[in-house]
Structure 1
Amino acid sequence: MRQARCLLFSCRRKFLFLPRDILHFLACFSLVFSLAIPSAQAQFFSAPQPESLHTPSHIHTVQSTPEEEQKKPSSPPVADLASPKKTEAKHDSEQQDLTPPSMALGELFAAIGQAHIFTDAKTVADIIPDRPPATLLKLYNKQKQQDNFNLKDFVAQHFTQPPLKKVSFNPRPDMSVLDYIADMWEVLKREADRYELYSSLLPLPKPYIVPGGRFSEIYYWDSYFTMIGLYEAGKAELLRNMVIDMASLIDRYGHIPNGNRTYYLSRSQPPFFALMVDLLAEQDGQKVYLTYLPELQREYDYWMNGAETLKAGKAYRHVVRLADNTVMNRHWDDMDTPRDESYPQDIHTAQHIKNRPAAEIYRNLRAGSETGWDFSSRWLTDQHTLGRMNTTELLPIELNSLMAHLEQVLAHAYLLKEDPEKSLFYERLAQKRITALNTLLWDEKREGYFDYNWTTGQHTPVYSAAMVVPLFLHLASPQQSQAVAQILKTKLLKNGGLVATDQNSGQQWDFPNGWAPLEWMAVKGLNAYGQAALARDIATRWMTRVIATYEKSGVLLEKYDVVAKTISPVGGKGGGEYPMQVGFGWTNGTLLGLMNRYPEEAAAILKKNPHAAPTLAVKFMPPIDAFTSAGHSLISAQTSLENLPAIPSHSLLRVVFPYLQGIGLQSIEHTAMEGETEWTFPLAGSKVSPSQEFLTALNRAIQPNAFSSTLFPSGDSSLEAPEASFLENTP
């Protein structure tokens, strides 16, 4: 028997994310490796049969009773924190009616909204009736005929308004911005819910963080950026709980709704669940992917519902199949009525538009809410009129980027499950989507990513910060990243950071406002492509704007005016359907992350804003790259695979790990010094090991600026099985 080999790979962390054609090759390489494992029974390139998972297609689907849940097969119990037992929120014996209040209360709901009894229209959807809605509606229809009937008194008598935790807008000069963030976790925290009869709240089984202000429930895409702060603050248990809550929503309803309210069930929000799992894997390790694989799969099935039978040139729910059979995603809502949370506003919007069906307007307003950018000139045909929204006709940049990432995470999770057939299936889907993203949504003339109107075959005119998302998720080519960086510098970078778009439409997701998630994704994405100086500049401008505003107001806010030269204590400009909100989950989370990533810049900003600065010397955490690094700084050590720190889902090492383990890898030696990471793989008693030809190609592949030509000299990057010469059998 030959002596054990040691494979030595040295590469800088920033190059761990490989070009997509190399990942093609590695997926094939992994598949061939798996053939040496007796348990593997793979067939090349045949689409796997996904598990039969029910996805509710109508909002009136009733939740299973506890008795029915007990009859379902349960997952085996897992003791460690990386694989938490998934628990359901405890309900009373009566099932929750999932009918949204606008439908359950009918004309009573409409009357309350039109009477403007509450300052915020959302309150009408959140108040809790004292009896079954149908019974209350009958009572209303009877009493309203009386001469002395008063609707406001009727509402006060028969509805209860849930209490809101208020956050004072008054300046608090005695509290530093870091103390504010630390204390605000408790203010924004909600304990596990218990079902309340006739409430629109969908109960969650674990404690969670809400955004703040009027938002007293969890919101899907907001939560990922809030979780960044929990990760940075070391609040691992709360981070785990929020992932459990998200998984619980998928388990019960087939998807994660816009928020945990019945009136949000007809739509979702940008699919960040895979990134939440990535983040938790940074904390708890690779087992997290196996724990949440069923929910990842079901999330994907929800967004792709109807794709298999869809004809070319048609759309169904969230899926669009183009004339050339390319499959992409759009935003959608299953209902075409006014939104419960903005009922009178939607009616007003539709009434002022001629020659367009009201149902079409309502559908697009709802789909626009699913984007998370509610609202923006991105979704408006004329860039300023809400009634001209055409969200369902657009293929958005970030949605299709996130779907590609979800496909990549599914590929990785199935590798860990030792199912290379499904892994390769989803890797191929991801590469098809990435190709479409980088061609269809890339405007060669303007050299940037733009939303694409699939009905006209044209890009939209709006320059938006959404073009950073392909960089954030490592889907762009280096040339594309350079072009995006140039657009950011010349069109979107302002005094206080990146502006959402170049359009001054009066909508809140437009000029002059900047938003925490966009700044965070830009900084992360630019760093991943070697644009460190621009990333640092954006981070510094944004931190300066947020901290200087805190200096004047004593609070952190939902959005900020990043164009103005002077600092306003009220943050962002108008637009939107509600006043400025205080809290604020994603601002708190990403600000903490940026301050940890850029401690010197943060310290200099705090020095100029003494009220925001801590009394004692600031001790920042070591820079943590929650999405693109192996976690905390590594010291020369030997780590078992069970305790291996998580690494990026698209990296060379993560793709190869399961198969190296299968051929005898027992441990990994790693050393990190000044950004240089060296990995040593001892292979003891292995039956199969890579040939020198493979190692040479691999070492060339991980060098900067190496592309598909490295492994495919002919330029053919199609998914074909590697030649047998790439493997060397060992007796």
Structure 2
Amino acid sequence: MDEIHTYGFIPNGGRIYYLDRSQPPMFTRMVADYVAETNDTSVLARAVPSIENELQWWMNNRSVSVTSSYTGKTYTMFHYSVNNSAPRPESYIDDYSTAFDPTLPSLSESGRSALYAELASGAETGWDYSSRYSAQPLAGGTNNTNPTLRTLNVRNIIPIDLNSILYKAHTLAADMYTSSGNSSAAATHLAVAASLREGILDLFWDSSKLAFYDYNLTSNARNDLYSAATFYPLWNGIIPDEVLESTENAFGFFAGLNLVLNRYNGTMPVTFLETGLQWDAPNTWPPHQYIILEALKALPSNITTSALPTPPSNSSTYALVPEGQISVAEDALPGQPIGGAGKNATKVGPAADISRLDGTVVNGGNATAGEGWAHALQRELANRYFASALCSWHATGGSIPGYLPRLSDQELNVTQSINNTGNMFEKFNITDVDSSGSGGEYTVQAGFGWTNGVVLWIASNYGQELVTPDCPDLLTITGASGGATKSAAVSAYARPSLAMLVALIVIAITNSLA
């Protein structure tokens, strides 16, 4: 609140050179969640003016008028747009190298200034960086990011997630004003929220593909790149009529998630494109798993109680995905390595669903009789995230004497963790629950707050459905041991109880933050 009081917004970081860009506007929701959890309404006397100031800052500095190419209606929407003409101080060498890359065409001074503004705007999104904001997502292939960064088009993208967050912020602000008797202020925020809701459904929603896509001001049309941002509207209370009208459509919206759980070892990736950028495949991020779970919970029961659909006998779960939804052909999806085999699983046909089991998926928990499809996906994703957090922590030296033995030095040498005591990583890998994510401008962070927070939230909300993760054998994966026995997280000890599983994660978090 002090930062909003001083600057009108929450800067992207705690140094003076971040004062030209904001964090994504989560403050209103944070206040609402705090009050709902604690019933401490005394904070509102100071918080509500701060909420008003921040929302006004976004209206004054990041709003843009958009006329829909689909309906002709005009909306006030929001985008990330930083006025910057120099490399970011915190990533000066990276930005300079992107601008002056000798393998790429030289840029004029104005071209470099525009690129620096795009790079700063990309940092403001929180998704720094993703093919989602690039005009040529695969310009550099899978490991050369500079060509892709050169084509960033952040300022001309109207993002699904930002506008969904602001829609919810205005509805929550209206609720706060209503509770204090300020009906005029409440009406103002409700009007903004109503316009945003209409704009989100008009500009972003594709009813034929059953997904949301960012709106591109350059092309005056939706982008076709599928990303985890598609789940933000449901998380924030916007469910399209087409999703509500049938079980088939509701499942279709989540069919990409179902594909991931059956096809891969990890959780839902940011996109299905492998670009070398950290907000693309193979990386998966903890906040997205939380948002997806909340989106599933937002669906009404009348469209969620039937069983999970199964694909035709000669097809994989890709066949259940609405045509064109995930923007990538089945044979172009990221591969799932097979441990110890030195190759990927097949990319097409039923054999591609390498994690599929009878009624569930690998590290997806146990199915129950009469379980609806939405609950099944929640159970599977909650368990899979739990496995990603615990297995990667254990694979980097985590242990609890008497309950969870430390891996051998030979095993820990695979992850270069012989002298480590376990990491809770900021991001994970879609293909390996033993591993962190990769890419980006900095070393992968350990002991990350949102990773720990999502673990605790899942333990609180799905604790009775969590089962002991089955962690891959590090030696078998790398081929270091021809006949190594499976190194499950519990090794020679008895499989722990549910309560112990939750305790393991709590201790893991404490250990990672020590």
What range is the shorter-chain TM-score in?
0.5 to 0.7
Q: Given the alignment of the two structures, is residue 278 of structure 1 paired with residue 32 of structure 2, yes or no?
A: yes
Tell me if the contact between 2:207 and 2:242 (Cα under 8 Å) persists in the aligned partners: no
Query: What residue is the counterpart of 1:577 in the other structure?
Result: 441
Query: What residue is the counterpart of 1:532 in the other structure?
Result: 375
Q: Map 1:586-597 onto structure 2 (within 5 A).
A: 586-597=450-461
Q: How many residues align?
A: 360
Q: Given the alignment of the two structures, is residue 561 of structure 1 paired with residue 429 of structure 2, yes or no?
A: yes
Indicate which of 251, 275, 285 corresponds to 1:505. Answer: 275
Q: Map 1:284-683 onto structure 2 (within 5 A).
A: 284-285=38-39, 287=41, 288-305=43-60, 317-323=61-67, 324-352=73-101, 353-354=105-106, 357-384=111-138, 385-477=148-240, 479-480=242-243, 482=250, 483-490=252-259, 494-530=264-300, 531-553=374-396, 554-564=422-432, 567-568=433-434, 570-572=435-437, 574-605=438-469, 609-610=489-490, 617-618=499-500
The code of the aligned residue for 1:432 comes to S
Backbone CA RMSD of aligned residues: 2.4
The CA distance in 2 between the partners of 1:414 and 1:318, in whole Å, is: 24
Change (3 A) 1:478 1:602: farther
Q: Write out per-residue CA displacement over residues 394-445 of structure 1, whole angstroms, 9 at most, x where no aligned residue.
A: 0011100011011111211111221112212211210111111012111233
Tell me if the contact between 1:504 and 1:512 (Cα under 8 Å) persists in the aligned partners: yes
Q: Write out per-residue CA displacement over residues 462-494 of structure 1, whole angstroms, 9 at most, x where no aligned residue.
A: 110111111111112363372421233246874
Query: What residue is the counterpart of 1:25 in the other structure?
Result: none
The code of the aligned residue for 2:431 comes to V
The CA distance in 2 between the partners of 1:545 and 1:355, in whole Å, is: 42
The CA distance in 1 between the partners of 2:114 and 2:38, in whole Å, is: 45
Tell me if the contact between 1:523 and 1:536 (Cα under 8 Å) persists in the aligned partners: no
Tell me if the contact between 1:465 and 1:492 (Cα under 8 Å) persists in the aligned partners: no
Question: Aligned-pair distance for 1:597?
Answer: 1.3
The code of the aligned residue for 2:451 comes to T
The code of the aligned residue for 1:610 comes to V
Tell me if the contact between 1:376 and 1:509 (Cα under 8 Å) persists in the aligned partners: yes
Indicate which of 222, 247, 254 corresponds to 2:8. Answer: 254
The CA distance in 2 between the partners of 1:396 and 1:297, in whole Å, is: 22
Q: Which protein, 1 or 2, shows the higher relative CO under an 8 Å CA cutoff with sep ≥ 6?
A: 1
Question: Aligned-pair distance for 1:614?
Answer: 7.8
Question: Aligned-pair distance for 1:529?
Answer: 1.1
Query: What residue is the counterpart of 1:182 in the other structure?
Result: none
The CA distance in 1 between the partners of 2:66 and 2:209, in whole Å, is: 23
Tell me if the contact between 1:545 and 1:562 (Cα under 8 Å) persists in the aligned partners: no
SS of residue in 1 equivalent to 2:466: helix
Tell me the TM-score normalised to structure 2 length.
0.66
Q: Map 1:691-730 onto structure 2 (within 5 A).
A: none
SS of residue in 2 equivalent to 1:435: helix
Tell me the TM-score normalised to structure 1 length.
0.47
Tell me if the contact between 1:497 and 1:539 (Cα under 8 Å) persists in the aligned partners: no
SS of residue in 2 equivalent to 1:366: helix
Question: Based on CA coordinates, which of the two structures has the bigger radius of gyration?
Answer: 1
Identity of aligned residues (%): 31
Tell me if the contact between 1:408 and 1:426 (Cα under 8 Å) persists in the aligned partners: yes
The CA distance in 1 between the partners of 2:78 and 2:40, in whole Å, is: 28
